[in-house]
Structure formats: structure tokens, C-alpha cells
Amino acid sequence: MKGDNLHQLCDFTIQRRKRGKESNFLDRSQNVRDNYGKNNRYGIHKNSLNESNLSIYVLLKALDTIQFKFGNYFLKLSQALLKEQQVDKLENDWYQYLEYGTTDENVIWLEQLGYDRNSALEITNSEIDIISTNELGNKVLLRNRIEELKNSEINNETEHIIKNYPDLFISEAD
């Protein structure tokens, strides 16, 4: 809720465990820890790498559970509001924000195609106009402008995505 990134949350969890604080504060019933121990062939010792990995694993499971519960709540809320207001899209859709981390339609569209969040943000926020519309008014991506970003990760993602959506990529003559 404070806006800490995942790295900061992992560090907090590991440091809390190392200081001898309640190491199971995210897994009070020990379910995640017990299942991890059954599936882990290595012993878990205090201050070991495995104990740190276990702490991170417990943190990620807790975050996943929280996101799932909030996601379900906001999905139901969004559906109810859409029905009540008789609209196709909400102006401030919290479910969409929780699911995609943004309400920017272009970022969501790129993520739905298969780009990861960072790539979608870089494409969208680039000063190079990469997203365009074709003569039918549908969104398309300008292939040669994607290459202008000179980002090998985005280029690799594009190669995979273009196999599934070849019609969405067009080349623009310079």
C-alpha cells in the first residue's frame, strides 16, 4: 500500500527473519512453509539461502493471494457498475488497474498481445509513434519503428508476437 517495490518487500521480509522477528508473519498457519519443506530436498537452516528463498516464496504467495482476492472483488464490482450504468467501459476501472497495473488502453492492448509490462510501457511512452491505426480504424504496430527503439528484449518479444498476430504489424516507408 506504501508503493514499495518487490525488491524492497523481499529485503524487508529477509531482514525481519534475520533479526529473529516472527519469521512466519505472512504464513501463520505454516501451510506454505510446510508444503515448501515437503517439496524441497534441501534442509532449511536459519540464515541460509534456502531460508531466504523460503521467506521470499512465502511473501510471493501472500501477495498472490491478496491480488487474487482484490481482483475478484473489483471484477465483481466492475461488472455490477457496468450493468447498473449500462455502459461498455468504466472511466475508473480498478479491476483493470489491478490486473494490468494501468488504465492506459495501449499498454493493456500490448500486454494482451504478449508484451511484458516494461516493454508495453516503453513502447507506449516512447517519443517514437509506434502504435497507429489502419484504414479500418484498428490499432496496428509499425514494425520499423519498434526496431528504432534498439531494445533487443522488445525485438525478441515482437518476433514471438508477430507469429500469432502478423496482420497487426505493418512497415512504414521512411
* pLDDT profile of the chain (174 residues), mean per 10: 73 78 58 57 50 79 87 92 91 82 88 92 92 91 93 94 94 64
Given this model, what pLDDT does residue 25 score?
60
Cα 63 to chain centroid distance, Å, stands at 12
Count Cα neighbours of 154 within 13 Å in the Cβ-side half-sphere: 22
pLDDT at residue number 164: 94
Largest CA distance in the chain: 64
Identify any residues that bridge with 140 across adjacent strands, giving them in sequence order.
132
pTM score: 0.62
Q: Are strands 169-170 and 139-142 parallel, antiparallel or unpaired?
A: parallel
| Count of positions (residues) in the chain | 174
The per-residue pLDDT for 7 is 84
pLDDT at 56: 82
